[in-house]
Amino acid sequence: MESDDAVATLTIDDPARLNAMGRTFWPEVREALARLESDGRTRALIVTGAGEKAFSAGGDIASFASLTDTAAKREFQRDCMRTFAAVEESPLPVIAAVNGYAMGGGCELALACDIVIAADTATFGMPETAVGLVPGFGVLRAPSAIGRHWTKLLMFTGERVDAATALRIGLAQKVVPAASLMDTARELAAAIAAKAPLAIAAGKGLVNRGVDRGEFDHSTAALTALHATDDAAEGIAAFVGKRAPTFEGR
């Protein structure tokens, strides 16, 4: 994490694995947010990915295989939801600077942020159904950003959209050349940071006033149930084994 005056930058730093979100990612993000919110100096936050290929390719699918009992699966889903909620509900304005792949949890993290700036090389997608799951936060928030039908298309098919399409459907608010992504994000963050912080926090809260945290319980329950299916086990095993899955609907 870096800080420059009133603007902080949080970088997902595992480029060798396309910045996949491992088990420690979720509490680390919440802890970083809590520090920034209480330091009395930070007024805007940029979230981005290390390297040039990915913002984040999403959750570490291989680590899901280690969750063997229902309680662990449920707690993992809650951990993810707590982190998305911490970003969404932070009094700080949070800008996603999407520098490449934003897949699965990476796309969901972008949805949790307040503004999405995408490099012209960025790619977005929610491919979880390929491993027998669904994007638990994405299915709740994407409809308000891109509409129900686009959400269903991306979720049902796993189809990826490029930066231009993301801008057109509302998944991104700005698209810029990859080389100028971080400069653009910093300029925007600095402009926001110059505004009255209490007004920014209040405005964010008012815009988000319709957000229903109770939905998280339903999503967590649905994902926990899906995670326990034979199809999810097959999907995860197929992903790890780099083969096509065979789903049987059980």
pTM for the complete prediction?
Answer: 0.91
Query: What pLDDT score does 1 carry?
Result: 61
Query: What pLDDT score does 157 carry?
Result: 96
Instruction: Give me the sign of the Cα torsion angle 83, 87, 89, 92.
Output: positive
pLDDT in tens, 95-140: 999 999 999 999 999 999 999 999 999 999 999 998 888 888 999 9
119 token code pair = 């490099």
Query: What pLDDT score does 226 carry?
Result: 77
Catalytic residue among 28, 88, 108, 187: 108
Catalytic residue among 31, 37, 128, 215: 128
Annotated catalytic residue 128? yes
Coil, helix or strand at residue 90: coil
Element (H, E) at 11: strand 7-12
pLDDT in tens, 202-223: 999 999 886 666 677 667 777 7
* Residue closest to 8 by CA, chosen among 223, 185, 169, 144: 185
Query: What pLDDT score does 212 carry?
Result: 63
pLDDT in tens, 26-38: 999 999 999 999 9
- 91 against 66, higher pLDDT: 91
